[in-house]
Chains A and B, each alone.
Chain A
Amino acid sequence: MDALVAQLQRQFRDYTVSLYQLGFLDDQFTELKKLQDDDSPEFVAEVLSLFFEDCVKLIGNMARALDQTGGSTVDFSLVGSSVHQLKGSSSSVGAKRVKGLCVTFKEYCEAQNYEGCVRCLQQVDIEYKTLKTKLQDMFNLEKQIIQAGGKVPQVSIN
């Protein structure tokens, strides 16, 4: 099955490189991968899983804080605090686009710009879900390579 393994490895490499080139991932993701080894073979997947849990929780907090139904006023510092936490998490896992959105989002919070905040909320929600799908595809390719008897190649990003 060498031809299959080679093909899968090529697919995996191309896909991974594209995630970096399109700005979904940055160097920090590479650092996470370096920390994965036989002692901790699922490390990257585990950290990313925690990150996505964070996304759900924090975006939920932001949505609630931005909810103006019933005439309640928006506490922008509350929104900003959740954005700050999401910015931190995304930075720690190398989720470059999510982090970039958080930077913009934070500025809108500080400016108390409601429309800007709502827009960012929608975008960050789409962005983390997109990343999640892309990473699942990447992890699936890894699995397929291993099941075909091959090794997951180290992908170097230049």
Chain B
Amino acid sequence: MAEVLLPRKMEIAKDPSKFGSSDLLHVLAVDDSHVDRKFIERLLRVSSCKVTVVDSATRALQYLGLDVEDKSIGFEDLKVNLIMTDYSMPGMTGYELLKKIKESSAFRQVPVVIMSSENILPRIDRCLEEGAEDFLLKPVKLSDVTRIRDSLMKVEDLSCTKSIKKRKLEVTENVYSLDSSAPSQLKRAKI
């Protein structure tokens, strides 16, 4: 057989070697809710991603090797292309996890997406300011996941420099249910 067989649902990636040993984006999902973990895992698998799911920010740090003495390093060889974390979790929140990831040399360039059931604008702003790539309202939609995945594939494909570019902010109706008194400039990063 001269042809290379790609994973069934894979259409977009032009250079599979960019994703390491497997052809798939590796996503680390963090959520304390068992129902939501099952759901996000399925969304990601259906979107042709390799998924690792953990139930707390602490376990996420353990997985990344950021829980040990020299907290700023982490497992250099671990390939994680995206981290999706719930915001409200007991113990360490998704926001605190985001900060720790951005402080680490191994993972600061990995895009982090925050998920929350609450549409709280200051919370969204705070996360974006801390470097979150996106903020999704729960329940997360399949279209959210495919949009993020496609965007990441494009980034890898263009062989960008390692620094994450700040994307243009634009108003999105889906995330904010703006009431008339809210400032019209409130935005959410879109990737």
Contacts and interface: CB of A to CB of B under 8 A. Distances in A.
Chain B contact residues: over half helix, strand or loop, or mixed? Answer: helix
B120 interface: no
Interface stretch (A16-24, A82-90, A124-132, A134-142): A82-90
Contacts of B38: 46-47, 50
B39 interface: yes
Contacts of A43: 42
A55 to B, nearest CB: 10
A31 B139 contact: yes
Interface in A134-154: none
A73 to B, nearest CB: 22
Given A40-B42, A53-B34, A92-B138, 8 more contacts: A31-B139, A34-B142, A35-B43, A47-B39, A50-B34, A88-B35, A89-B36, A91-B117
Interface in B87-127: 88, 117
In the complex, the 3 A-B pairs of residues with the closest C-beta atoms, listed nearest first: A89-B35, A92-B139, A88-B117
Interface of B: 33-36, 38-39, 42-43, 45-46, 88, 117, 138-139, 141-142
Contacts, number: 48
Contacts of B45: 39-40
With a 10 A CB-CB cut-off, give which of B39, B45, B142 has the most chain A CB atoms.
B39
Chain A: number of interface residues, binned into ranges? 20 to 34
A28 interface: yes
Contacts of A89: 33, 35-36
B142 A31 contact: yes
Given A53-B34, A54-B34, A93-B35, A88 B138 contact: yes
